Amino acid sequence: MDKNFLDQFLFVALPYVCLFTFFLMTVYRYRMQSFSYSSLSSQFLENKHHFWAVVPFHYGILVITAGHLIAFLIPRQILLWNSHPLRLYVLEIAALAFGLLTLIGLVGVIVRRFSNSKIRCVTTPTDWLLFGMLMLQTAGGIAVALFHPWGSSWFATNLAPYLWSIFKLNPDIMFVAAMPALVRFHIVFAFLTIGFFPFTRLVHVLVIPNPYLWRKPQVVRWYGRRPSVERNQR
Amino acid sequence: MKPLSRRLSSPKRHLPLKTPLQRAHRRDHTLSALWDLGCGGSPASAPARRQRSFSVRLGLAGVAIWAATWIWPAGVLAQDTPDYFRQNCMNCHTIGGGRLTGPDLKDVTQRKDRAWLVNFMVNPKAVIDSGDAYARKILEESRNVPMPTLPGLNKDRAERLLDLIEAESKLPESQFKGLQISQEPFTDADRQRGRAIFLGHVRLEAGGAACISCHTMHDTPALGGGRLGPDLTNVFERLKGRKSISAWLMAPGTETMLPIFKNHPIRAAEIHALTAYFEASASESPAEPAADRVTFLLTGLAGAVALVFGLDAIWKHRFHSVRRTLVDQASMRGRR
């Protein structure tokens, strides 16, 4: 296939298809099935391995996603921060550490869902597909960080303008056309994940009660009495 | 979940709905039924039609945004021809200022016929791939850096650009002559300034990214420089000396660098300093990437492990003790 045509498809058509799918289907699903906006927590079914999977995964992916968003919104300031090598290294090591934290958590999530029969029962094929995509995307991101450093700087110079060109409805693929295959894969998979987002449990991101991140512990108790207790009282 | 037809004909449907909560609950059931319908359910009811009308509006909004994506670039195409040349062609070409990455375009229409030039400008890759001898010659003279396909460059714009080049070629000094680089001998101060520019300590005046973002050198400290582009330790020899490396920095022609420096050109004094630094490092051995990569990975891994234990220390009372204590207490009560 002609490379130019392939680039137009991967970096112009596909992003718009994925972004439109994301916006339209997210609203559509919220209107049609409000109660399906949930992460469908399995915490009550298994709680021992839960911590080592879900907590690293969530804090890792939140920081990494926020980092990508910040570099997209204020690329000049990122370049200014990186203008001293020590600061550049600090930023890159922190990003890699959170990337690895995400990977550790994600492996934990997948192992927990696979090894526990109760959790496996409530895991749908869509969930498995989503875990596969997130795994590829996270591993791909770490590989990009290791083999094509320093992403925080070249994201600001090349990818931020490309993404802005997409949002300004005037796509300029020159910024990404010559990028290494790993980087191109990471970009394409990011858009595919965004497009797949409204069909998955990821929608809970949009309705998350944010105070969960810092609120004090809450004790959840069963309201009903156990049959043995009732028997004893009779 | 019951099929749509059964749910809509359920006796509950005819009961009066007393409270807003009940009404909201009923509405949600209807919406769920419609979601099922999309997956192959039964014919729609009035509420379902209302929801379908919402879907149609949503679809139309999507189509409108999609149409805007094709209309918007039309405004961009209305750009002035000299401005277009300045922003898209001057990275690699001058008119009467000598060769950069691409050839000097002075009197180019006298060297080759317009039809060929227009064809090449609109789709350079296709002409090169077709095996055209003249296109291959240009490619070799440009150190095998092919001319990129430029955004918005159609046949009409190519004709207007050739008109501009013809007019500028007739002038004693074209406005597109380009930067003129100093021929002064390099000093230690130049070399130190070049290294500072490379590392980012001294910022590029026009706002371009520091070289360390994508390149490394033999003496780049700690974890080394970027690896998106090549190691530049021996670039002075690779590009065959001062004149051609200066021309390269004046108009970085690779597809990755071109869009970055198109709007943030490197100034003549900065090119002079960087060239001095590259000349001084020409005899050194390039940096070893594997060692830097392992150090980077291990440091990141140590950070990740520290984060896992840190999160455990912060959250253990929430996720471990509280619920686990409850479960343990419940188990103990069961045994008593």
The domain that holds A166 is classified in CATH as 1.20.950.20
Question: Is B155's Cβ below 8 Å from some Cβ in A?
Answer: no
Average pLDDT of span A154-174: 93
Average pLDDT of span B157-163: 91
Tokens 């959170």 map to which residue?
A98
Question: Which chain A residue lies closest to B207 (C-alpha atoms)?
Answer: A76
Per CB-CB distance under 8 Å, the chain B contacts of A82 are 200, 210, 213
pLDDT of residue B90: 79
Question: Is B31's Cβ below 8 Å from some Cβ in A?
Answer: yes
Mean pLDDT of the residues in chain A: 88
A145: confidence class by pLDDT, cuts 50, 70, 90: very high
Q: Is residue B247 part of a domain?
A: yes
Co-location of B129 and B156 in the same domain: yes
Average pLDDT of span B169-180: 82
B27: confidence class by pLDDT, cuts 50, 70, 90: very low
Residue B28, exposed/middle/buried by CB under 10 A (0-12, 13-18, 19+)?
middle
Question: Is A10's Cβ below 8 Å from some Cβ in B?
Answer: no
Q: Is residue A155 part of a domain?
A: yes
For residues A36 and A200, the answer to whether their CB atoms sit within 8 Å is: no
Per CB-CB distance under 8 Å, the chain A contacts of B31 are 31-34
Co-location of B198 and B227 in the same domain: yes
Q: Is residue A221 part of a domain?
A: no
Q: Is residue B293 part of a domain?
A: no
Residue A115, exposed/middle/buried by CB under 10 A (0-12, 13-18, 19+)?
exposed
Would you say residue A18 has pLDDT above 50?
Answer: yes
In the three-class reduction of DSSP (H, G, I as helix; E, B as strand; rest coil), residue B108 is classed as helix
pLDDT of residue B2: 44
pLDDT of residue B283: 85
Per CB-CB distance under 8 Å, the chain A contacts of B48 are none
Question: Is A202's Cβ below 8 Å from some Cβ in B?
Answer: no
Tell me if B300 and A96 make a contact (CB, 8 A cut-off).
yes
Question: Is B297's Cβ below 8 Å from some Cβ in A?
Answer: yes
- Contact map slice: B 61-120 vs A, CB within 8 A: 61-62, 65-66, 68-69, 72-73, 76
Question: Is B323's Cβ below 8 Å from some Cβ in A?
Answer: yes
Return the CATH number at B230. Answer: 1.10.760.10
Range of the domain at A80: 3-38+49-214
Distance between CA atoms of A86 and A74, rounded to whole angstroms? 20
A208: confidence class by pLDDT, cuts 50, 70, 90: confident
Cβ neighbours around A145 below 10 Å, total: 21
Q: Is residue B32 part of a domain?
A: yes
Cβ neighbours around A79 below 10 Å, total: 25
Cβ neighbours around B230 below 10 Å, total: 14
Distance between CA atoms of B84 and B163, rounded to whole angstroms? 13
Question: Is A220's Cβ below 8 Å from some Cβ in B?
Answer: yes
| Per-residue tokens: A157 | 């110079």
Best to test chain B binding among A32, A33, A126 (most B CBs inside 10 Å): A32
Co-location of B129 and B147 in the same domain: yes
Residue type, B76: V
Task: Measure in Å the smallest separation between the Cα of A120 and chain B Cα atoms.
Answer: 22
Say whether the peptide bond before residue B72 is cis (omega within 30 degrees of 0).
no
Q: Is residue B319 part of a domain?
A: yes
Per CB-CB distance under 8 Å, the chain A contacts of B203 are 83
The b/e string for B104-120 (b: 16+ C-beta within 10 A; e otherwise) is: bbbebeeeeeeeebbbb
Higher-confidence position of B304 and A214 = B304
pLDDT in tens, B74-89: 444 445 888 788 777 8
Q: Is residue B233 part of a domain?
A: yes
Q: Is residue A119 part of a domain?
A: yes
pLDDT of residue A133: 96
- ipTM of the shown complex: 0.84
Co-location of B64 and B16 in the same domain: yes
Q: Is residue B131 part of a domain?
A: yes
Last residue of a domain, one of B58, B77, B96: B77
Q: Is residue A224 part of a domain?
A: no
Tell me if A217 and B32 make a contact (CB, 8 A cut-off).
no
A206: confidence class by pLDDT, cuts 50, 70, 90: confident
- Contact map slice: A 63-82 vs B, CB within 8 A: 76, 79, 82
Tokens 């002038």 map to which residue?
B171
Question: Is A150's Cβ below 8 Å from some Cβ in B?
Answer: yes
Percent residues over pLDDT 70 in chain B: 71
A73: confidence class by pLDDT, cuts 50, 70, 90: very high
Co-location of B212 and B272 in the same domain: yes
Tell me if B32 and A98 make a contact (CB, 8 A cut-off).
no
The b/e string for A13-23 (b: 16+ C-beta within 10 A; e otherwise) is: ebbbebbbbbb
Per CB-CB distance under 8 Å, the chain B contacts of A51 are 312, 315, 319-320
Task: Measure in Å the smallest separation between the Cα of A52 and chain B Cα atoms.
Answer: 8
Task: Measure in Å the smallest separation between the Cα of B171 and chain A Cα atoms.
Answer: 33
Closest Cβ–Cβ partner in A32, A88, A169 for B68:
A169
Distance between CA atoms of B219 and B175, rounded to whole angstroms? 39
pLDDT of residue A230: 55
For residues A196 and A157, the answer to whether their CB atoms sit within 8 Å is: no
What is the C-alpha R_g of chain A? 21
Question: Is A156's Cβ below 8 Å from some Cβ in B?
Answer: yes
Number of domains in chain B: 4
Co-location of B209 and B234 in the same domain: yes
Would you say residue B9 has pLDDT above 50?
Answer: no
Q: Is residue A87 part of a domain?
A: yes
Distance between CA atoms of B145 and B140, rounded to whole angstroms? 8
pLDDT in tens, B255-302: 788 888 878 888 889 999 999 999 999 888 888 888 889 999 999 999
Would you say residue B3 has pLDDT above 60?
Answer: no
Average pLDDT of span B151-164: 88
pLDDT in tens, B324-335: 666 677 667 666
Range of the domain at B319: 301-331
B102: confidence class by pLDDT, cuts 50, 70, 90: confident
Q: Is residue A234 part of a domain?
A: no
Question: Is B29's Cβ below 8 Å from some Cβ in A?
Answer: no
pLDDT of residue A135: 97
Higher-confidence position of A168 and B152 = A168
Tell me if B226 and A99 make a contact (CB, 8 A cut-off).
no
pLDDT of residue B175: 82
Average pLDDT of span A147-176: 93
Q: Is residue B287 part of a domain?
A: no
Mean pLDDT of the residues in chain B: 77
For residues B161 and B85, the answer to whether their CB atoms sit within 8 Å is: yes
Question: Is B203's Cβ below 8 Å from some Cβ in A?
Answer: yes
Average pLDDT of span B169-195: 85
Query: How many interchain CB pairs under 8 A, A with B?
Result: 179
Q: Is residue A159 part of a domain?
A: yes
Ramachandran region, residue B131 (left: φ > 0; alpha: ψ -120 to 50; beta: rest):
left
Last residue of a domain, one of B135, B169, B203: B169
| Per-residue tokens: B31 | 């919406």
Best to test chain A binding among B311, B318, B333 (most A CBs inside 10 Å): B311
Distance between CA atoms of B211 and B266, rounded to whole angstroms? 11
Distance between CA atoms of B285 and B217, rounded to whole angstroms? 9
For chain A, give the number of residues.
234
Q: Is residue B111 part of a domain?
A: yes
In the three-class reduction of DSSP (H, G, I as helix; E, B as strand; rest coil), residue A106 is classed as helix
Tell me if B210 and A24 make a contact (CB, 8 A cut-off).
no
Residue type, B295: T
Distance between CA atoms of A122 and A201, rounded to whole angstroms? 12
What's the pTM value of the predicted model, to 2 decimals?
A: 0.71
pLDDT of residue B299: 96
Cβ neighbours around A27 below 10 Å, total: 15
Q: Is residue A132 part of a domain?
A: yes
Tell me if B201 and A83 make a contact (CB, 8 A cut-off).
yes
Question: Is B200's Cβ below 8 Å from some Cβ in A?
Answer: yes
Co-location of B260 and B209 in the same domain: yes
